[in-house]
Amino acid sequence: EVITVSELARKMNLKANALIGKLMSMGMMVTINQQIDAETAEILASEYGCSVRIVSLYDETIIETEKDRQEDLRPRSPIVTVMGHVDHGKTKLLDAIRSADVASGEQGGITQHIGAYQVAVEEGTVTFLDTPGHEAFTLMRARGAQVTDIVVLVVAANDGVMPQTVEAIDHAKEAKVPIIVAINKVDLPEANIDRVKQQLSEHGLIVEDWGGEIPAVEVSALKREGIGDLLSTLLVQAEIMELKANFSRAAEGKIVESRIDPGRGTVATVLVENGTLKVGDSFVAGIYPGKIRAMFNDRGQKVDLAGPAMPVEIIGLDGVPDSGDPFQVTDGEKLARQVSSKRQELKRVEAARNVKKVTLDNLYDSIQEGEVQELKVVIKGDVHGSVEALQNALERLSTREVRLVAIHAAAGAINEGDVMLASASNALVIGFHVRPTPRAMVTAEKEKVEIRKYSIIYDAVEDIRSAMEGMLAPDL
Ligand code: GDP
């Protein structure tokens, strides 16, 4: 259901009663506030010579964007997220990198935390997102904002690969973002670098000096050693990826974070992805319009321009957008206001529609409609053995039409990260002898992610098989 009869009538400049009459003649009994689906709306509109176009929130077609010409594209800095197990040194590493900035000498370095920063070394510049961990990464992705080009996976050499290391690997793989490993804490006497490489290989990451393709750099975030190496490796990777952007067009990007500052009003950090942002530009950020009154870089200095991969704090927003919201410069204030009011309307409609992610109940229909060719699942279980057994049993259900893929399978309770990964990837979560944490439950509700709990492998397999065949017994 997409639109109420009264709304459609208003848009078509007709009396609602006329539409109700028309629907009755088509054999449909509806009331004025009833929602009708897209197909019905289309048929109805065509009866009156109107056409209906279904747009979703943040539909790109709402704002006409210029196509980039190949000759306008120039290399840009890579955008990097640091991930890894808790206490393996992500925060320390981000601090060490920040202080490696060559331009920071006399200015006292990057002191502002605006959610992202850019460091310059001789060979080039690298942009880091300042919130480490796969949670922030996947939250952005669930919002449709995949800004990260490269993941730095931090593994402490004394501790080795741990559960959150594996989570991070799966989150990065699912997002198809290349990984560079930073083996940290190599200053410790108990550091065992070979063991880390061995463990990584067990999770499908073969490092370069073992004949694989994953670059690995040894660092000590504490002693600030190996940081230059890490930055060069990132720049080499960026070159291989041929990251490019058009510096001369109107800017577009993503909101990294936003807040209300007591002195300055609403401030937001924008990471420009394409084009150059200028003071005075009109824009839409998520559902809000605005006009850039001032911009500041990650040192708190006023700037007039921000090009691709450069994070800037902006002032001049009419509301507080969410992290991950799209940011686009518009041709004038009027268009910014029009687009934002259109989006506010769409947001209300989408909230009312309660769009569901894939569930066992809607799976068969989605397969029939060709919407699903791959059923993705996140599997959590009480012990490693049962997780593996369930994963094998489920993956064997793959048919010619639908492939079943476990995008993450691990022992432990169903956590918020599992739910966000499922949300970002339109997956189901399956728990075997485990329950979701309270936060995971709240998130699943909000993200409309289905969590199925089982205590017998056979039951899980049968449920999914039946759902794939469209014969699932109704949920009790
Ligand atoms: P995070 O949870 O991954 O962000 O980890 P932190 O950056 O907070 O670091 C966790 C702990 O490890 C802190 O006590 C750091 O001082 C320590 N640590 C981080 N990097 C290193 C390192 O290279 N060598 C040593 N010896 N300790 C480190």
pTM of the model: 0.81
DSSP 225: B
437 is annotated as contributing to ligand binding: no
Confidence of residue 476 (pLDDT cuts 50, 70, 90): very low
Q: What does the pLDDT read at residue 106? A: 47
pLDDT at 296 over 90: yes
Kindly report the protein residue whose alpha carbon is nearest to atom 18 of ligand 1.
89
User: What is the H or E stretch that residue 441 is in?
Assistant: helix 438-447
The alpha carbon of 146 and the centre of ligand 1 are apart by a number of angstroms equal to: 27
Write the pLDDT tens digit of every residue in 344-390: 887 777 666 555 677 787 777 777 776 677 889 999 999 989 999 99
86 is annotated as contributing to ligand binding: yes
Question: 104 or 193, which is more confident?
Answer: 193
The alpha carbon of 412 and the centre of ligand 1 are apart by a number of angstroms equal to: 24
The alpha carbon of 111 and the centre of ligand 1 are apart by a number of angstroms equal to: 20
Atom of ligand 1 nearest to the CA of 219: 23
| Phi, psi angles (nearest 5°) of residue 249 | -90, 175
Q: What does the pLDDT read at residue 178? A: 97
Q: What does the pLDDT read at residue 57? A: 65
Judged by average pLDDT, the poorest of 18-32, 144-158, 205-219, 441-455 is 18-32
Atom of ligand 1 nearest to the CA of 86: 2
> Does residue 92's CB lie within 6 angstroms of at least one atom of ligand 1?
yes
pLDDT at 4 over 70: yes
Atom of ligand 1 nearest to the CA of 221: 23
Report yes or no: 306 and 314 within 8 Å, Cβ to Cβ.
Answer: no
133 is annotated as contributing to ligand binding: yes
Write the pLDDT tens digit of every residue in 222-277: 999 999 999 999 999 999 999 999 999 999 999 999 988 888 889 999 999 999 99
User: What is the H or E stretch that residue 140 is in?
Assistant: helix 134-142
The alpha carbon of 178 and the centre of ligand 1 are apart by a number of angstroms equal to: 24
Q: What average pLDDT does range 442-458 have in this prediction?
A: 92
> Does residue 187's CB lie within 6 angstroms of at least one atom of ligand 1?
yes
Q: What does the pLDDT read at residue 58? A: 66
Question: 473 or 299, which is more confident?
Answer: 299
Judged by average pLDDT, the poorest of 164-168, 296-300, 400-404, 423-427 is 400-404
Judged by average pLDDT, the poorest of 284-293, 307-316, 356-365 is 356-365
Report yes or no: 23 and 30 within 8 Å, Cβ to Cβ.
Answer: yes
Q: What does the pLDDT read at residue 63? A: 64
Confidence of residue 318 (pLDDT cuts 50, 70, 90): very high
DSSP β-bridge partners for residue 330 = 282
Q: Give the torsion sign (CA, 181, 186, 192, 194).
A: positive
Q: What average pLDDT does range 167-172 have in this prediction?
A: 95
113 is annotated as contributing to ligand binding: no
Kindly report the protein residue whose alpha carbon is nearest to atom 19 of ligand 1.
89
Question: 382: burial class by Cβ within 10 Å (0-12, 13-18, 19+)?
Answer: middle
Write the pLDDT tens digit of every residue in 42-65: 888 888 877 776 666 666 555 666
Helix 457-469 with 360-368: angle, nearest 10 deg? 40
Write the pLDDT tens digit of every residue in 90-135: 999 999 999 876 655 545 555 678 999 999 988 899 999 998 888 8
Q: What average pLDDT does range 65-93 have in this prediction?
A: 92
Question: 31: burial class by Cβ within 10 Å (0-12, 13-18, 19+)?
Answer: exposed
> Does residue 165's CB lie within 6 angstroms of at least one atom of ligand 1?
no
Q: Tell me the percentage of the chain whose pLDDT exceeds 70.
A: 91
Report yes or no: 292 and 303 within 8 Å, Cβ to Cβ.
Answer: no
Kindly report the protein residue whose alpha carbon is nearest to atom 15 of ligand 1.
89
Among 10, 23, 1, 50, smallest CA distance to 349 is for: 1
85 is annotated as contributing to ligand binding: yes
Terminal-to-terminal C-alpha distance of the chain: 24
Name the average pLDDT for the chain. Answer: 88
89 is annotated as contributing to ligand binding: yes
Q: What average pLDDT does range 425-431 have in this prediction?
A: 93
pLDDT at 322 over 50: yes
Beta strands in 250-373 (DSSP E): 252-261, 265-274, 277-278, 282-285, 288-296, 302-303, 305-306, 311-317, 326-330
DSSP 174-216: HTT--EEEEEE-TTSTT--HHHHHHHHHHTT--BGGGTSSB-E
Helix 90-98 with 227-241: angle, nearest 10 deg? 90
Q: Please give the structure tokens belonging to residue 224.
A: 């600030």
Report yes or no: 147 and 271 within 8 Å, Cβ to Cβ.
Answer: yes
The neighbour count for residue 402, using CB atoms within 10 Å, is: 17
The alpha carbon of 99 and the centre of ligand 1 are apart by a number of angstroms equal to: 16
Report yes or no: 57 and 350 within 8 Å, Cβ to Cβ.
Answer: yes
